[in-house]
Chains A and B, each alone.
Chain A
Amino acid sequence: MRDIVGGIETRAREELFINIHPIQAAGRLTPNAMKALIAYGDGYSTCDWCRKPFRLDKICRPPIQEFHSELAKFVGMDEVRVVPGARRGFQAVTSSIVKSGDPVIVSSLAHYTEFLAVEDAGGVVKEVPLNKNNIITADATAQKIEDVKKEAGKLPALIMIDHFDYMFGNEHDIYGIANVAKEYKIPFLCNCAYSLGVMPINGKEIGADFIVGSGHKSFASPAPSGIVASTKEWADKVFRTTQMVGDVTKRKFGIKEVEMLGCTLMGGNLIAMMASFPEIKERVKKWDDEVKKINYFVNEFLKIKGNKVLSEMPRKHTLTKVDTTESFDVVAQTHKRRGFFLSDELSDRRILGEFFGATRAWKLNTYGLTWDQIKYLANAFQEIARKYGINVA
């Protein structure tokens, strides 16, 4: 396939291959988002009809203001803003409420951007340990709060826990943790980067003060894109407007929000998010079918002797960590291509997205595959196993 221009390949892997890449699955665009990018790719395309009060989330044509309002309802929160990635959502919250030296509770499976957001605000992360099933529980969170209180002489400024983590795709006890946060009167940010946009999420039902989501991970949107939502109790703090006045010019920009640095997610990325939104509202209702498909797949995958699933079982999420040390890695030890043999075999069957060359512990994601594709995928792994003399039950 020819390059678009010098060295930039036409990216057609989604049309040519089954892609099981762990972080790419639910960020694949809807057809409407692809069309929106065609028409709105030019730089400041969202600004054609920007009128007073000159802020992105107030623009009515295209209906960006209405999108914000609908999005807030969709996530069950009072206020929402779009941001360039979930990480900028974490940063907006930590920068608003974490002060220098403040402890912040995070998961032992927290994404690195949560660490950076805390560090950027001058805070210190304190990790809640996992239980034996690699789950963060409410009890462990409460214990960590007590430990921090004893050690630092003050309560943590924020609790930031992932709904589903990036490592195993395990579900953590966010409802219980929200209750603990309330008991201690500590604000709770629920990181829904792997859930908002693929399954129903209601921030108030969870009991969260903040919900953060990722457009490019789970909302069928281009990178970077994300969502930060807040209850009305916290909105004035996180979405506070600038008070700054120029000393020479006396200029002020009163409507602009400090944490958003004024206008946030402009142009094609935002419009693509908006264009995907109607389909997102529908697809979250079909989450159960996605869960059925991954469980079908892992059951077939486990028929290959030596294969293991490291994520919780049965699966509650399509992102899954597997271990093939006692199956495909045994083949890799003597194969001339070493671990790359598995990638070669998958690629020959028009499958990609596994960590190239990995034959021990690696992750996959089946979100969005049709039943035919799921069956094809399961059969492909079994076929490769048989080819190399691995028993398939």
Chain B
Amino acid sequence: MAEQIGSGLQTHLCRCEPCPWLHIKIKMGNNMSQKSVEETFEALFALTDLRQIFRETKPTYKLNDEQKEKVRKIIESVRKNLLTIEEELIK
């Protein structure tokens, strides 16, 4: 997750274990709730990237190919996040 957020600060911190900086993989076992929490943050962060695309393309929202590809990837990743959450918490 730290790498996905993406900045030198997070990368630096990941040298520390357990890493407290926007990084869920702390030493508490890989239980179900931890996975779902991680997926929730990942979805929120991905949707934040989508928010940024709205900001960059307003008010016409004419997306170029690169932006369209970014949106596709965001939607795909959020869908995966939600599926995992559904799988772990509801089913």
Contact = CB atoms under 8 A, between A and B. Distances in A.
Interface size class of B (residues with CB under 8 A): 20 to 34
Interface stretch (A15-23, A83-91, A118-126): A15-23
A254 interface: no
A294 B42 CA distance: 37
B22 to A, nearest CB: 5
Interface in B29-88: 41, 44-45, 48-49, 51-52, 54-56, 58-60, 62
Contacts of B52: 31, 34
A341 B12 CA distance: 52
Residue among B9, B13, B54 with most chain A CB within 10 A: B9
B58 A34 contact: no
A67 B9 contact: yes
A101 interface: no
Contact of B9 (A16, A17, A48, A274): A274
A31 B13 contact: no
A62 interface: yes
A61 B13 CA distance: 7
A211 interface: no
Contact of A38 (B12, B16, B41, B55): B41
A279 B56 CA distance: 15
Contact of B5 (A32, A49, A63): A32
Interface string A357-392: 000000000000010110010000000000000000
B59 A66 contact: no
Contacts of B58: 14-18, 350, 373
Contacts of A48: 20
A35 interface: yes
A370 B64 CA distance: 13
Given A15-B54, A15-B55, A61-B16, A35 B9 contact: no
A32 B49 CA distance: 9
Interface string A46-72: 001100000000000111001100000
A39 B45 CA distance: 10
A277 interface: yes
A66 B7 CA distance: 14
Given A18-B58, A18-B59, A63 B12 contact: yes
Contacts of A275: 5, 7, 9
A373 B61 CA distance: 11
Interface in A3-40: 14-18, 28, 31-32, 34-36, 38-39
Nearest to B24: A39
A125 to B, nearest CB: 39
A62 B13 contact: yes
27 contacts: A15-B54, A15-B55, A15-B58, A16-B59, A17-B58, A17-B59, A31-B52, A32-B5, A34-B52, A36-B22, A38-B41, A38-B44, A38-B45, A39-B41, A61-B13, A61-B21, A62-B9, A63-B13, A275-B9, A277-B7, A277-B9, A278-B7, A278-B9, A350-B59, A370-B56, A372-B60, A376-B59
Interface of B: 5-9, 12-13, 16, 20-22, 41, 44-45, 48-49, 51-52, 54-56, 58-60, 62
Interface of A: 14-18, 28, 31-32, 34-36, 38-39, 48-49, 61-63, 66-67, 274-275, 277-279, 349-351, 370, 372-373, 376
Given A62-B13, A275-B5, A278-B7, 16 more contacts: A31-B48, A32-B5, A32-B6, A34-B52, A35-B5, A35-B22, A35-B48, A38-B41, A39-B22, A61-B21, A63-B13, A66-B9, A275-B7, A278-B8, A370-B56, A372-B60
